[in-house]
Structure 1
Amino acid sequence: MTDRNPYSADAPIPARLRPAMEAIGRVGRDLARHIARGPLAGQLAAAVGDNADGDEQKALDVMADTAFAAALRGTGIRWYASEEQDRVIELDPAGRLALAIDPLDGSSNIETNVSIGTIFSIREAGDAGEPSFLRPGHEQIAAGYIIYGPQCMMVVTFGDGVQDYVLDLETGLFTLVNSRLTIPEESAEFAINASNYRHWARPVRAYIDDCLAGSEGPRAKNFNMRWIASLVAETHRILVRGGLFLYPRDDRPGYADGRLRMVYECAPIAMLIEQAQGRATDATTRILDKVPASLHARTPFVFGSTTKVDRVTAYHDLPEQEVSALFGHRGLFRV
């Protein structure tokens, strides 16, 4: 790893966050090169154990976690909370910042050459490690992700809009390409894992039924369904093209609160989405107002274009007889 600044000269990064952001950029750049080599870089998708929450770890998960933790020492980060760690790690006792990270999101897709990524957020550090992260998401001061795909890109917010960078392979720099990324409001796409339909609550099923009914249903419009199973890839598509992402709670054991982690995944993505003029909820409640009960707490997650997220919330407010009706009789949403 080189100490060279990984950003183009016009990168508008706050001075107090620059050391940490430069470390994240350097590791992201190195990981992008490593991932691009695929099998030539070794068995990146090999199972090497389980993480703190019982999910299978891949070799690249551990590699990424180790690299970020090492690079962030001495950058002002006191507390480091990773999805791959059992507990919060103290990197710098004099640091004033706390960083939460999913070092390698979407690792189940490593061997399929589908876009994967890194998700991170930065907060003010408290006197103790874990309590620094058990606070509402609106207290984040920065959030972002790196997507390792056909282009390696970094999307980040410092609380005043969303910046979009692409890794220039010629210079090795993350180069600013959009200083204020916003979500298109109009889109005919939604993303959900439809194989779990039978497990969803009635409002979610009703919403999806009405989308699938197309131009003949109450929405009077044809929709396209997407599902990549990589949160970073789903987020990036919505930031670029608009639409809706849903990972609701369901009635399977262990899914009562969804499956995505609030601290490492949902809170930082929610901050990005809101800064891009979108909406992010758990289907009824704003994600950034929620306080995680534990470091690895999970939450249902619905985000995307504002009117689409609001419509999902409205379905949860419908009276029972309206939710249970056939789509042709769900009068409130006939357009």
Structure 2
Amino acid sequence: MAYRTLSQYLALQQGNLTPALADVINTIADTCKTIDQALQSGALAGILGSAEHENVQGETQKKLDIISNDYLIDALKVHQHVGGLASEELDEFTPAQANGEYLVLFDPLDGSSNIDINMCVGTIFSILPAKNAVTQAEDFLQAGTEQVAAGYVLYGPSTMLVLTVGTGVVAFTLDPKTQEYFLTTENIQVAADTQEFAINASNQRHWEAPVQRYIEELQLGKTAGRGKDFNMRWVACMVGDIHRILCRSGIFLYPYDRKDPSKAGRLRLMYEANPMSMLIEQAGGASTTGRVRILDIQPTELHQRVPVVIGSKNEVDLVTQYHL
């Protein structure tokens, strides 16, 4: 069976996917190959462990967080079609090329707490249209509906690129021999119903009443009148949890909780929630904070946090109904 490469797939797309945008996506995908090679070397390359300082989010960075971030910054800031970059790991945006048509936002290494135990991690990216010839910080503050492309690379038993350019969701697998991404799944769909959920249950005592109610019903399953029992899964890497949903449906929740009431949510709107919401909605699923559609949120700051409820539409709709 002959598989199309990523470049061949992008060349066939219409609409928002200009040759310039295709070139930006290819550059991100190529840079993720370099990140993948560093991950494969692991302890042999001395990239495991803590970097012994915190990022803008107040989280302890891993060595590979910094390495991955540098790879992406270095590759994209010189790209002729990129006007500016924003990373979860950096306080401020990084200017790139004057008259660059696109802005790129990314989480360079999602789930980095998994690195030292050799579990899956990923890179998440979002691409927005540039608003001005010279990029300003406020140019990044666009609602998720403005994204022209979004995706992630999952570094797992096989390395995969999952992508949307607004015409559905597709998945590519990286061939370790040729170092080419080959299209392996088209028209990915998330079933409206599911029997799987993912949530960090250690925070249960801090959840609001609607989420307490919903998770209790899932745990009780048939005995709560749901008509079926549910299984819980938790990867501690959003890329891994979303990938599972795209493969076999499910719902992922990182809701608002009272553990730190000053934070509106745990996940970042621009680097995690928006790109994942675009992917899930393009696959027929839904995404909400519990109260509003995530893609409709008008950002007010670059590192804004939001609650996230995402996945199979009927379950997401039920969680939203409980918040009314």
Q: TM-score, normalised by structure 1?
A: 0.90
Aligned to 1:323: none
Instruction: Give the letter for the 1:137 counterpart.
Output: G
> Quick one: distance in 2 between partners of 1:167 and 1:203?
41
- The 8 Å contact of residues 7 and 26 in structure 2, kept in 1 or not, is answered as no
- The 8 Å contact of residues 45 and 107 in structure 1, kept in 2 or not, is answered as no
> Quick one: distance in 2 between partners of 1:91 and 1:7?
25
Instruction: Give the letter for the 2:289 counterpart.
Output: D
Aligned to 1:35: 39
Query: Equivalent residue of 1:176, what SS?
Result: strand
Query: Equivalent residue of 1:213, what SS?
Result: helix
Query: Equivalent residue of 1:266, what SS?
Result: helix
Q: 1:26 aligns with which of 17, 30, 38?
A: 30
1:95-140 Cα distance to aligned partner (Å, 9 max, x none): 1111111111111111111110000011111234321221211001
Instruction: Give the letter for the 1:301 counterpart.
Output: V
> Quick one: distance in 2 between partners of 1:54 and 1:81?
17
Residue 25 (structure 1) shift: 1.2
> Quick one: distance in 2 between partners of 1:94 and 1:191?
42
Residue 156 in structure 1 maps to residue 163 in structure 2: yes
Aligned to 1:187: 194
1:139-178 Cα distance to aligned partner (Å, 9 max, x none): 0110000000001000011111112100011211010112
Aligned to 1:273: 280
Q: How does 1:152-301 map to 2 (within 5 A)?
A: 152-254=159-261, 256-301=263-308
Instruction: Give the letter for the 1:125 counterpart.
Output: A
Evaluate the alpha carbon distance shift between residue 27 and residue 298 of structure 1 in structure 2; reply closer, same or farther with a 3 A threshold. Answer: same
Residue 27 (structure 1) shift: 1.0
- The 8 Å contact of residues 19 and 75 in structure 1, kept in 2 or not, is answered as no
Query: Equivalent residue of 1:154, what SS?
Result: strand
1:284-328 Cα distance to aligned partner (Å, 9 max, x none): 2100000122100000000001111001111112xxxxxxxxxxx
Aligned to 1:117: 122
Q: How does 1:320-331 map to 2 (within 5 A)?
A: none
In the alignment of these two chains, the number of paired residues is: 312
> Quick one: distance in 2 between partners of 1:250 and 1:81?
27
- The 8 Å contact of residues 50 and 60 in structure 2, kept in 1 or not, is answered as no
1:168-204 Cα distance to aligned partner (Å, 9 max, x none): 1121101011231111233210000111111000110
Residue 305 in structure 1 maps to residue 305 in structure 2: no
- The 8 Å contact of residues 89 and 129 in structure 1, kept in 2 or not, is answered as no
Q: After the TM superposition, which of the residue ranges 264-273 and 129-138 deviates more from structure 2?
A: 129-138
1:27-71 Cα distance to aligned partner (Å, 9 max, x none): 111111221222112132323411112111111111111111111
> Quick one: distance in 1 between partners of 2:263 and 2:70?
31
Q: 1:103 aligns with which of 105, 108, 123?
A: 108
1:190-224 Cα distance to aligned partner (Å, 9 max, x none): 00011111100011000011111121112131110
Query: Equivalent residue of 2:61, what SS?
Result: strand
Aligned to 2:8: 9
Residue 57 in structure 1 maps to residue 61 in structure 2: yes
Structure 1: runs of 5+ lacking an equivalent:
1-5, 318-335
Instruction: Give the letter for the 1:102 counterpart.
Output: D
Aligned to 1:82: 87
Aligned to 1:325: none
Instruction: Give the letter for the 2:118 counterpart.
Output: N
> Quick one: distance in 2 between partners of 1:132 and 1:119?
20
> Quick one: distance in 1 between partners of 2:73 and 2:54?
18
Residue 255 (structure 1) shift: 5.9
RMSD of Structure 2 on Structure 1 (CA):
1.5
> Quick one: distance in 1 between partners of 2:67 and 2:263?
31
Q: Which runs of 4+ in 1 moved over 4 A?
A: none
Query: Equivalent residue of 1:9, what SS?
Result: helix
